[in-house]
Structure 1
Amino acid sequence: MADCLSFRKTGFFSNLITDYIEEKQDLKPFYNRFPTIKNFKSQIDEKKSTYDQSNREALVEVLQTQYSSLSTSEATQHHIDLLNEDSTFTVTTGHQLNLFTGPLYFLYKIVSTLNLAKQLKSNYPDFNFVPVYWMASEDHDFEEINFFNFKDKKIRWEKAAKGPVGHLSTSGLEKVAKQIEKEFGKSENAEYLKGLFKIAYLNHDNLAEATQFLANELFGKEGLVILDADDARLKSRFDHYIKDDLIHHTSFKETEKQAGVLSDLGYSVQVNPREINLFYMLEGLRERIVKKDQKYYVLETDMEFTKDEILELVDQHPERFSPNVVMRPLYQEVLLPNLAYIGGGGEQAYWLELKSLFDASSVTFPILMLRNSVLLYSDKVSKKIKKLEADIYDLFLSPEQLEALQTRRNSKIKIDFHKQKQTLHQQFAELYDLASKTDHSFYGAVAAQEKKQKNGLDHLEKRLLKAQKKKLKQQNERILELQSELFPGRSLQERQLNFSEIFVDYGERLIPKLLNELDPFQFDFICLELDIYNTKQ
Structure 2
Amino acid sequence: MHFFHFSKKDINLFNSQHINLINNQGLYKSYINRDFRITNFKDQAFDKKRNYAASHRSVLVSELEKKYFGVNNKDKVMSNIESLKLNNTYTVTTGHQLSLFTGPLYFLVKIINVIKLADRLNQENKEINIVPVFWMATEDHDFQEIQSINLYGKKITWDSKQKGPVGRFNLDGFSEIKEQILDFFGNNNDAQIHDLMKIYDGEDLAEATFNLVHELFKDYGLVIIDGDNKNLKKMFVSTIERELKDQFSYKAVSKTNKDLEIDGFKIQAFAREINLFYIENGFRQRIEKTDEGFEIKGLGVYSESEILKKVQLNPECFSPNVVLRPLYQETILPNLAYIGGGSEISYWLQLKGIFDSTNITYPIIGIRTSIMWIDKLVSKKIDQIDLVLEDLFKEKDTVKRQFIEYHSSKELNFDEIDLIESQLVKKLEKSILSIDSTMERYKNSEIVKLNKQIEGIKSKLVKLSKENHTKSMKYIDQIYDKLFPNGQMQERYLNIFSFCPDGNISKRIDMLYKVINPEEKDFLVIREN
TM-score normalised over the length of structure 2: 0.86
1:2 alignment partner AA? F
In the TM superposition, residue 505 of structure 1 has moved relative to its aligned partner by 4.0
Give, in whole Å, the separation in 2 of the partners of 1:39 and 1:207: 37
- Secondary structure, in 3 states, of the residue corresponding to 1:205? coil
The alpha-carbon deviation at position 331 of structure 1 amounts to: 0.3
* Aligned twin of 1:318: 315
- CA-CA distance at 1:101 after TM superposition: 0.7
Report the CA distance between 1:161 and its aligned residue: 1.3
1:382-401 deviations in whole A, cap 9, x for unaligned? 34323422222311211122
C-alpha distance in 1, partners of 2:100/2:32?
A: 33
Aligned residue in 1 for 2:416: none
The CA deviation at 1:473 is: 4.2
Query: 1:247-271 CA distances to partner (integer Å, 9 max, x unpaired)?
Result: 1111101111112222333333211
Matches within 5 A, 1:340-379: 340-379=337-376
Give ranges in structure 2 of 5+ residues lacking alignment: 413-464
CA gap 1:505/1:411 in 2 versus in 1, 3 angstroms: farther
Q: Is 1:251 paired with 2:245?
A: no
Alignment pair present for 1:497 and 2:486: no
Match of 1:65 in 2: 66
Match of 2:461 in 1: none
**1:212 matched to which residue of 2?**
210
Unaligned segments of structure 1, at least 5 residues? 416-467, 532-537
Q: Which whole-Å deviations, capped at 9, do the CAs of 1:83-104 have from their partners, x for residues lacking one?
A: 1000100000001011111111
Residues in 1 aligned to 2:344 and 2:210: alpha-carbon distance in whole angstroms = 21
Match of 1:176 in 2: 177
Deviations 1:202-238 (A, max 9, x none): xx11010000000000001110000011111110001
Distance in 1 between residues matched to 2:411 and 2:155, nearest whole Å: 45
Amino acid at match of 1:30: Y
C-alpha distance after superposition, 1:31-84 (max 9, x if no partner): 111111111121111111222222011101111111113214211010010010
1:339 paired with 2:357, answer no
Cα distance in 2, alignment partners of residues 494 and 187 from structure 1? 26
Cα 1:11/1:161, change in 2 over 3 Å: farther
Matched residues in 2 for 1:520 and 1:407: separation? Answer: 40
Report the 3-state secondary structure (helix = DSSP H, G, I; strand = E; otherwise coil) of the residue aligned with 1:504: coil
Show the counterpart of 2:192: 192
**1:221 maps to amino acid:** D
CA contact (8 A) 1:177 1:194 kept: no
Shift of 1:20: 1.8
User: Any idea what SS the aligned residue of 1:29 has?
Assistant: coil
Q: After alignment, is 91-100 or 495-504 more displaced?
A: 495-504
Structure 1 segments of 4+ aligned residues over 6 angstroms from their partners: 468-471
Q: CA separation of 1:72/1:312 partners in 2, compared to 1, >3 Å: closer, same or farther?
A: farther
Cα contact 2:89–2:128 (8 A) shared by 1: yes
CA RMSD of superposed structures (Å): 2.1
Alignment of 1:8-407 (within 5 A): 8-23=9-24, 25-187=26-188, 191-201=191-201, 204-299=202-297, 301-407=298-404
Cα distance, 1:331–1:182 mapped onto 2, change above 3 Å: same
Question: 2:25·2:35 contact (CA, 8 Å) conserved in 1?
Answer: no
Task: Check whether the contact 1:408–1:414 (CA below 8 A) recurs between aligned residues.
Answer: no
Asked whether the 8 Å contact 1:90–1:130 carries over to 2, the reply is yes
**Structure 2: distance between partners of 1:372 and 1:25:** 20
Preserved contact between residue 54 and residue 87 of structure 2 (Cα < 8 Å)? yes
Q: Which residue of 2 aligns with 1:516?
A: 514
When normalised by structure 1's length, the TM-score is 0.84
Identity %: 38
Question: Residue by residue, what CA displacement relative to the aligned partner does 1:330-363 show, whole Å, maximum 9, x if unpaired?
Answer: 0000110000001111211111111111112211
Shift of 1:380: 4.5
Structure 1: distance between partners of 2:519 and 2:503:
26
Q: What residue in structure 2 maps to residue 461 of structure 1?
A: none
Give the match's secondary structure for 1:291: strand
Give the total of aligned pairs.
475
| 2:383 partner amino acid | K
Q: CA deviation at 1:245?
A: 0.8
- 2:354 alignment partner AA: L
Helix, strand or coil: the match of 2:38? coil
